Amino acid sequence: MNRVANKVALITGAASGVGRADALLLAAEGARVVLTDIDEDAGRALAREIGDAALFVRHDIADEDGWRHALAATLDRFGRLDVLVNNAAICPVGSIEETSLDTWRRVMRTNADGYFLGCKYAIGAMKGNDTPGSIVMMSSVAALGGLPMMCAYTGSKGAVTALARSVAVHCKRSGYRIRCNSIHPDGIWTPMTQALMPDLDPAALGIGSDPMARMCDPQDVANLVLFLASDESRFVNGAELRIDNAQLVSSL
């Protein structure tokens, strides 16, 4: 129950879905957690649920001043940062022909710019630590395959995946004890998924062909985030880890 004891983790998009599952599991395993989100009510409620080991910060990840504030609040409250979970994202539906330039830029601002800023400021906070650090980048199977009806989202997650590799190599060559890995789920049953596909019945997926017969659960993702946040993954760096029940390879 202490796989990340004494570590301080900042999780973006922590108020619901995967971010919430990440925060609860990391806290249960001994971490102090900084929960950032634009949903203040849900974020503060989660911080109260976790208790003294949690701090909520309202935070738009695409805003550079917001990152400065979030990191300052983290260091003021807990004195250090050990783990960044770049999780928050937006996911509008639209093919390449249907997606406007404004929508494309809005998605890139959050999903790509926001992750870039997170890495930049987290490295600054962690590079002087005497213990290892970890950056976990929430990407998607879409970045490795392609979702034609989510053009902007797919493009943004491709950027996240490439950025994770760049960050991993930069930190290694700079002598920083900071790892960076991307994780690639497929079809997570979250409030965002439910809003995008309100008529989807997750219990009916895969019946007759898939023994799991379900979508990916936020807890499935949180389990991998915990591993990457912990020192158990100390030699895992620059990796692209799928959580998709063989979905990508079965479509080849």
Domain boundaries, the chain: 8-250
H or E segment at 66?
Answer: helix 64-78
| Banded pLDDT at 142 (limits 50, 70, 90) | confident
According to CATH, the topology of domain 8-250 is Rossmann fold (3.40.50)
- Greater confidence (201 vs 50) lies with 50
Residue 7 has pLDDT above 70, yes or no: yes
H or E segment at 10?
Answer: strand 8-12
| Banded pLDDT at 1 (limits 50, 70, 90) | confident
For residue 175, count other CB atoms closer than 10 A to its CB.
Answer: 8
Tokens describing residue 151: 């053009």
Q: Is 153 a catalytic residue?
A: yes
- Rounded Cα distance between 6 and 98, Å, is 47
What pLDDT does 252 receive? 45
Average pLDDT over residues 72-82: 99
Taking a C-beta distance cutoff of 8 angstroms, is the pair 139, 228 a contact? Answer: no
**Mean of the per-residue pLDDT values for the chain?**
91
Residue 189 backbone dihedrals phi, psi, to 5 degrees: -85, 95
Catalytic residue among 115, 121, 153, 176: 153
CA 183 to chain centre: 8
Percentage of the chain with pLDDT > 70? 87
